[in-house]
Amino acid sequence: MNIRDQVVSAFIPDDGYTYSHKLPFQYSNFIDGMAWVGMLCGAARIKEDCELIELTEGFINNLLLVGPDARNFGPTGKVSSDWLHSGKMPGFSYKRKPQAFAGPAAVHWAVSKGARIDLNRVPDVSGTARFMCATAWLYGHLIKPVPALRQHINSVMFAHLMLGKTPPSSMRFLAKDNPVYQYIFGTHVQEFIYPSNSPWPAKNWPGTTGTIKPYTPICTLVGQLLS
């Protein structure tokens, strides 16, 4: 099964366009679906891939509809019993946790590429994005000596993506072998197969290694669509 087919198999349209971040499909407490599916949604719109557009927009719109601060959802009875029952989508339950930055930023970018998503349901993170872009030059210099700051790399990159800005030269080294970040920098995007050693390997510090796990290769597909 090729990478695109693997990603397609991670969605179940008959269950409300639910998405699994591990293969084979499983319902879990994965809470970053808005960010990763949002990136795929924008990339699918760029490539005009109708099937991926339907799957990704279906997931995001239902995630926004199922309940406030929803991070994941699925049919009641198939998901964890401690998830909240939905009032908007009877028969579904959802994992609740306030959204951080990356998810809303990815969705705002997807909408800028033509995605049909109601932004009135998406948190407004524009102020945070402007702050991240304004301080990114210094941040790029600090992340080398201060490892604790590296957890925010993806958010800073997504801030530039959302606002259509190019990250500073101090962060350019992060784009090595990273087609998602190459796209954000506006440079030539090299197709690359990410090892499945984290949920979203594009945000890994260069040279990061880890245990191979059966994560949905959604990040690799995003990179391929953007190349």
Q: Where are the alpha helices (DSSP H) in 14-164?
A: 33-47, 50-66, 102-112, 126-134, 136-142, 153-163
Residue 51: predicted pLDDT: 98
Per-residue pLDDT tens for 83-127?
Answer: 999 999 999 999 999 999 999 999 999 999 999 999 999 999 999
Give the pLDDT mean for 213-226. Answer: 94
Residue 75: predicted pLDDT: 98
pTM for the whole thing? 0.96
Alpha-carbon Rg for the chain in angstroms: 17
70 DSSP β-pair partners: 96
73 DSSP β-pair partners: 94
Residue 138: predicted pLDDT: 98
**Does residue 21 come out as left (phi exceeding 0), alpha (psi in the -120 to 50 range) or beta?**
alpha
DSSP designation for 39: H
For residue 174, how many C-alpha atoms fall within 13 Å in the half-sphere facing its CB?
27
Q: Residue 40 and residue 53: Cα distance in Å, rounded? A: 8
CB of 49 within 8 A of CB of 77? no
pLDDT at 212 over 90: no
Per-residue pLDDT tens for 21-41?
Answer: 999 999 999 999 999 999 999
CB of 25 within 8 A of CB of 12? yes
Q: Residue 180 and residue 186: Cα distance in Å, rounded? A: 10
Closest alpha carbon to 96 in 84, 78, 107: 84
Per-residue pLDDT tens for 182-199?
Answer: 999 999 999 899 888 889
Q: How confident is the model at residue 207 (pLDDT cuts 50, 70, 90)?
A: confident
Per-residue pLDDT tens for 38-84?
Answer: 999 999 999 999 999 999 999 999 999 999 999 999 999 999 999 99
Per-domain boundaries in the chain: 3-123+174-226
Copy the structure tokens of residue 176: 């090595």
Q: How confident is the model at residue 211 (pLDDT cuts 50, 70, 90)?
A: confident
Question: What is the phi/psi pair of residue 216, to 5°?
Answer: -55, 130
Amino acid 103 reads G
CB of 95 within 8 A of CB of 88? no
Pairing verdict, β 84-85 and 18-19 = unpaired
